[in-house]
Chains A and B, each alone.
Chain A
Amino acid sequence: MTTTRDWPLYEVFIRARGGLDHKHVGSIHAVDARMALEHARDVYTRRQEGISIWVVKSSEIVASDPTEADAFFEPARDKIYRHPTFYDIPDEVKTL
């Protein structure tokens, strides 16, 4: 048996309803963008899961490195003043 050359991998993102973000749901294989959209539709929207699909070639995705997670994400941890709950506002003050 000869080894198969598989179709390239695409990541699939679906918008479930108007007003929501596209969300990653998984991947499919396809030869090009057109086929990738069809496969994403046929595989991931059999139960009305979506109203819009994005497909992106998996090899085109640039991801942050988990070993750099500390450097990337820890610095945000102590900026608690960026969150509204940081501020004590007297109960008498409304709509703030």
Chain B
Amino acid sequence: MSAAGGSSSHFAWVLRLADTNLVLAQRLGELIGHAPALEEDLGLANTALDLLGQARLLLTHAGQLEGKGRDEDALAFLREESEFLNATLVEQPNGDFGDTIVRQLLFDAWQVPLYERLTLSRDPGLAAIAAKGVKEARYHLRYSAGWVVRLGDGTAESRERVQGSLERLWPFTAELLQADDIDREMHAAGIGADLAAVRGDWERQVAATLAEATLERPRDRPWRWYGKRGEHGEHLGRLLAQMQVLQRTHPGASW
């Protein structure tokens, strides 16, 4: 399949991945210089840089699929909130370090099995990005799972805090793991992945980490978030207002 001239679903599906990476990188970027220990500043920044790098490749790829001449910056800085298709999980605020690291675990445990499957995508651009990204994602998972275990099996205070983070963030995981029409269409076309299979891997990884961390798996909730369809909560608007301020204030300027 050539890069240009993808279907609108194809474009939207790549944007989902791109925006999810970009928004999480933006959140982690807020933290650099404010982590609990100097070494964690460096670790979180490494993750942020990896995700931002993937976001740039994915946005560029999406722009080519769309074929309207939009580059990574046009897509990142000149789209509105409802046009962002990131998963709602990643726009959640950093909160305390427990929130940050639980959000990361729930995300990493999804990204690794997703990328593993996307390395076989019929979209060669996407397959190449996934092949590069999966190595990065595996390290991120090692890092976030390690921290969730330390906090869960650490002190009474840390266990209580991180269990709270898990309860708060759990409802946002459903949209990552349940296919909607576009997910199914892309899977059928051999471009996307089987989210049911991704979910199986995710469940195993998360269950193993929570068991080691002596944490309890929260109950699933009926409410569904659909950031991936542009239906966001209250946090993304502010995040984008900040991220896009210079491009919006100085239209057409180069930087």
A→B interface (CB under 8 Å) = 7, 28-31, 34-35, 38-39, 42-43, 46
Contacts and interface: CB of A to CB of B under 8 A. Distances in A.
A51 B38 CA distance: 23
Contact of A34 (B43, B46, B146): B146
A30 B46 CA distance: 17
Interface string B29-46: 000000001110011001
B132 interface: no
B135 to A, nearest CB: 13
Contacts of B97: none
Which size bracket describes the interface of B in this complex?
10 to 19
A7 B37 contact: yes
Nearest to B44: A42
Nearest to B49: A46
B224 interface: no
B77 interface: no
Given A42-B46, A46-B46, A30 B39 contact: yes
B168 interface: no
Given A39-B43, A43-B42, A29 B142 contact: no
B23 to A, nearest CB: 23
Nearest to A35: B146
A42 B146 contact: no
Interface string B108-151: 00000000000000000000000000000000001100100010
Contact of A29 (B37, B46, B146, B150): B37
